[in-house]
Amino acid sequence: MEQPSPHALPFGRYRELLDQEYRTLSNLVGPALDRPVPACPGWTGEDLVRHTAIVFLQKAETIRTGVRPSHGWPPVSVGSFPPQALLAHCYASLIEQFDAHEPGDRVETWVPEDQTVGFWIRRLTHETAIHRFDLEDTVAGGTTPLDAKLVLDGIDEVLTVMLGRGHPDPSASGAVVRLEAGGHSWDIRLDRRRAVVERDIAADGQATLRSTAEPLLLWLWGRAPGPGPAAIEGPAAELRARLAAAL
């Protein structure tokens, strides 16, 4: 199958990074359970761990059946699991389904042009990495740098996949904001119906944010301040607000 973007990693590498990020996240569960999560106001570490576990389990069931579960979801039984056990159970269910399928196998996603298991391999690797960062931030022991190639792919994924989940915005300005990091660029036109992303095109006077890649990714996810004053005004602020509504 074709890779979903020019920044996408081989699926085997996603699997390696997913396991790595999961192990780190899992080791943080104990000290994080009762602490507030800075990135998720109102949530404790336990809330975040349970959320992550249910995401794993839902995607496992989606891959197993080919369609997203609806009735009776999530299973009532998951409430009886302690957080660590629930996370381990749900991750094992996810990996069982990844191992039983090829990346090109068909499964429901919210991106019409990519209805494959590979979509979920990529998506869950990014999801796990961001929530690992969240738990490290929760325990305040310092955060581990993200894999450099995964960061560039993460910028692309949040703009071309996650932003696409948002609803039409009748108040959208139609402005273009340009993001530059790691020798690449993304131009995002904030149209009312949807945000349109173009990769690596020539600059033409657009409002531009330049940054190293990891801080830019974390800003897009609402996990870090923006790269400079321009990030809190005009088209950049509109982009961040639109992402916040979609994530």
CA distance 149 to 198: 19
Average pLDDT over residues 210-236: 87
Beta bridge partners of 36: 44
The percentage of residues in the chain with a pLDDT greater than 90, rounded to a whole number, is: 84
* Residue 151, pLDDT above cutoff 60: yes
Please give the pLDDT value at position 32: 97
Report pTM.
0.95
Q: Where in the chain is the domain with CATH 3.30.1050?
A: 149-246
Please give the pLDDT value at position 242: 94
What fold is seen in the domain 149-246?
Nonspecific Lipid-transfer Protein; Chain A (3.30.1050)
Q: Where in the chain is the domain with CATH 1.20.120?
A: 11-144
Average pLDDT over residues 166-194: 94
Confidence of residue 233 (pLDDT cuts 50, 70, 90): confident
Please give the pLDDT value at position 3: 66
Closest CA to 52 of 124, 107, 148: 124
Q: Which helix (H) or strand (E) holds 54?
A: helix 45-65
What is the torsion angle, in degrees rounded to the nearest 10, for the CA atoms of residue 97, residue 77, residue 86 and residue 47?
120
Collapsing DSSP states into helix, strand and coil, what is residue 184? strand
Average pLDDT over residues 160-174: 91
Please give the pLDDT value at position 2: 57
From edge to edge, which strands make up the β-sheet containing 207-210? 195-199, 184-190, 176-181, 207-210
C-alpha distances out from residue 18 to 12, 26, 97, 203, Å: 10, 12, 14, 35
* Residue 178, pLDDT above cutoff 70: yes
* Residue 1, pLDDT above cutoff 60: no
CA distance 192 to 92: 41
Tell which CATH classification among 2.60.40, 3.30.530, 2.60.120, 1.20.120 matches the domain 11-144.
1.20.120
Average pLDDT over residues 160-182: 92
Do the Cβ atoms of 29 and 45 come closer than 8 Å?
Answer: yes
* Average pLDDT of the residues of the chain: 94
Q: What is the DSSP letter of 160?
A: I
Please give the pLDDT value at position 229: 65
Neighbours of 244 (CB within 10 A): 12
Please give the pLDDT value at position 85: 97
